[in-house]
């Protein structure tokens, strides 16, 4: 199962809104095939693992599979979606046993895959490394169970707790190494979100240009559409969503979505709108006001906070977060603290 999880991680950033899944097939005490879900709309992990067996053992794949144990990190699907049901595939190849990490909470599956396999006479074992499998797909489970995306808060602060300068200018806090790590994170999540003032002051690209991978969807909060069209968020590097109170419209890769009364319950409105758009995860990168709104609403899952060694005399105070500290890392001159929220909604 650990090998399944290792394989599944290869799909991070590419399979959403599907879960990451890895599959390993063992026969005669030997791994004879493995695979993972590589991209949304393409073959699932079980399909790729079976195909690897057929490719490597063209003359006796059927005999090997009939004696095989299939390990898969998530319950094989039982419904027709972008691809046929994986449970049917395993039944067709008459595998002997299937070992599952998590059951799939998606209503079209949720135990139905296990029922199909068991009804076909296949021995099914479930709940193996269940905690680790769930953690891997925490984005997927959050979207299905809570009807909202997995929400990550990210910011940098000075050693004495300042988030940004008082004057409307860009002033870097964290190191170049930390910046590169943030770009890596952007390739792993569906979207990155910032407020209007962050765009006006910093003119960010919100891309993953310093890491290999795809750019996230850019989401900007601009109630009265004050951001000039010459800013980077309106370029063609990635699709941009602008939540505002004035219009719903599409111009090239910029999608304007009108919201009512953005002064009240904004985090909840954003979370539900992103859920309707099948956005499975979002990194909120600023400014301090929008970060504090999500913290106050307890509407976050992870927080990633860089603290630099520098001190400022004045500035905007950084958000104050309360959560379980999962990890503390030293990154050159910066300290990175990873928090988990155990009281989220």
Which residues are 284's β-sheet partners? 153, 193
Task: Please tell me whether residues 122 and 242 are part of one structural domain.
Answer: no
Task: Please tell me whether residues 123 and 169 are part of one structural domain.
Answer: no
Task: Please tell me whether residues 113 and 162 are part of one structural domain.
Answer: no
Please compute the mean of the pLDDT values over residues 10-23 and round it to a whole number: 96
The CATH number linked to 59 is 3.40.140.10
Lowest mean pLDDT among 81-85, 205-209, 283-287, 292-296: 81-85
Percent share of the chain, pLDDT over 70: 98
- On whether 304 is known to bind a ligand per the annotation, the reply is no
- On whether 285 is known to bind a ligand per the annotation, the reply is yes
Task: Please tell me whether residues 337 and 303 are part of one structural domain.
Answer: yes
Please compute the mean of the pLDDT values over residues 264-274 and round it to a whole number: 97
The two three-digit tokens of residue 285, written as one number: 């990168």
Q: Which helix (H) or strand (E) holds 92?
A: helix 86-92
The CATH number linked to 158 is 3.40.430.10
Q: Which of 34, 46, 75, 302 is catalytic?
A: 46
Task: Please tell me whether residues 209 and 241 are part of one structural domain.
Answer: yes
pLDDT value of position 105: 85
Picking from 107, 141, 175, the residue at the C-terminal end of a domain is 141
- On whether 198 is known to bind a ligand per the annotation, the reply is yes
Crossing angle of the two packed helices 266-276 and 288-296, in degrees rounded to 10: 90
Give backbone dihedrals phi and psi of 145, rounded to 5 degrees, phi first. Answer: -85, -30
- On whether 86 is known to bind a ligand per the annotation, the reply is yes
Task: Please tell me whether residues 93 and 78 are part of one structural domain.
Answer: yes
Judged on CB neighbours under 10 Å (0-12, 13-18, 19+), 167 is exposed
Task: Please tell me whether residues 131 and 163 are part of one structural domain.
Answer: no
Task: Please tell me whether residues 2 and 51 are part of one structural domain.
Answer: yes
Task: Please tell me whether residues 116 and 169 are part of one structural domain.
Answer: no
Picking from 93, 117, 141, the residue at the C-terminal end of a domain is 141
Task: Please tell me whether residues 9 and 107 are part of one structural domain.
Answer: yes
Provide the number of structural domains found in the chain: 2
pLDDT value of position 341: 95
| Whether the predicted pLDDT of 345 surpasses 80 | no
Task: Please tell me whether residues 101 and 237 are part of one structural domain.
Answer: no
34 in catalytic set: no
| Whether the predicted pLDDT of 85 surpasses 70 | yes
Report whether 243 contacts 266 (CB < 8 A): no
Going by pLDDT thresholds of 50, 70 and 90, the confidence category of residue 81 is low
pTM: 0.93
Report whether 311 contacts 333 (CB < 8 A): no
- On whether 206 is known to bind a ligand per the annotation, the reply is yes
Task: Please tell me whether residues 311 and 216 are part of one structural domain.
Answer: yes
35 vs 43: CA distance, rounded Å:
10
- Three-state secondary structure call for residue 200: helix
If you average pLDDT over every residue of the chain, what do you get? 94
- On whether 4 is known to bind a ligand per the annotation, the reply is no
Range of the domain at 282: 147-341
Picking from 93, 121, 141, the residue at the C-terminal end of a domain is 141
Please compute the mean of the pLDDT values over residues 111-130 and round it to a whole number: 94
């Amino acid at each position: 199962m650990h090998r399944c999880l290792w394989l599944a991680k290869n799909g991070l950033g590419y399979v959403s809104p599907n879960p990451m899944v890895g599959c390993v097939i063992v026969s005669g005490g030997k791994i004879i095939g493995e695979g993972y879900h590589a991209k949304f709309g393409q073959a699932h992990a079980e399909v790729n693992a079976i195909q690897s067996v057929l490719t490597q053992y063209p003359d006796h794949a059927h005999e090997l599979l009939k004696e095989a144990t299939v390990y898969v990190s998530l319950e094989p699907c039982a419904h027709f979606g972008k691809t046929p049901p994986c449970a049917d595939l395993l039944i067709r190849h008459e595998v002997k046993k299937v070992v599952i990490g998590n059951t799939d909470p998606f209503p079209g599956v949720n135990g139905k895959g296990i029922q199909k396999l068991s009804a076909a006479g296949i021995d099914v074992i479930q709940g193996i490394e269940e905690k680790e499998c769930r953690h891997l797909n925490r984005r997927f489970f959050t979207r299905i169970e809570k009807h909202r995306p997995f929400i990550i808060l990210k910011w940098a602060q000075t050693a004495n707790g300042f988030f940004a300068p008082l004057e409307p200018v860009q002033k870097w806090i964290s190191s170049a190494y930390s910046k590169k790590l943030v770009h890596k994170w952007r390739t792993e999540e569906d979207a990155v979100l910032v407020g209007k003032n962050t765009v006006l002051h910093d003119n960010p690209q919100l891309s993953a240009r310093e890491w290999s991978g795809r750019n996230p969807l850019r989401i900007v909060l601009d109630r009265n559409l004050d951001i000039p069209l010459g800013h980077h968020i309106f370029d063609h590097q990635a699709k941009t969503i602008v939540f505002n109170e004035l219009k719903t419209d599409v111009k090239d890769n910029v999608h304007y979505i009108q919201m009512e009364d953005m002064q009240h319950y904004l985090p909840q409105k954003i979370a539900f709108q992103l859920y309707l758009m099948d956005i499975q995860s979002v990194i909120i990168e600023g400014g301090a006001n929008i970060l504090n709104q999500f913290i106050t609403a307890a509407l976050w899952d992870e927080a990633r906070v860089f603290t630099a060694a520098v001190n400022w005399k004045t500035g905007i105070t950084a958000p104050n977060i309360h959560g379980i500290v999962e990890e503390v890392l030293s990154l050159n001159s910066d300290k990175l603290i990873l928090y988990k929220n155990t009281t989220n909604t």
